[in-house]
Amino acid sequence: MTVRQRLLSYFFNRLRMNYPQILSPVLNFLHCPTPQAWIVQARDPQNLPLLLTDHLICETEGCANRVAVGA
């Protein structure tokens, strides 16, 4: 293994994340798993504009709420 390969391997191993641990608070908050049908629709590239628009609206509402409470 070359030095470059060893360095890349080292850094990739350091970047590995424990996704179950990271997602645990989110999954506990949701109280149920995401339905597979929703995942299929969310992965459909034709639905990307709709998902991004929905995300934009949620972010805008979140910002408006923070401004309203003076945060």
- Tens digits of per-residue pLDDT, 22-36? 788 988 898 888 899
Q: How many CA atoms lie within 13 A of 16 on its CB side?
A: 7
- Tokens, residue 56: 């934009």
Average pLDDT of the segment spanning 6-15: 77
Q: Report the C-alpha dihedral over residues 43, 49, 54, 57, rounded to 10 degrees.
A: 150
State both tokens at 38: 């929703």
Question: What pTM does this model have?
Answer: 0.52
Per-residue model confidence (pLDDT) at position 71: 65
Contact in structure between 60 and 67 (CB atoms under 8 Å): no
d(CA 61, CA 67): 10
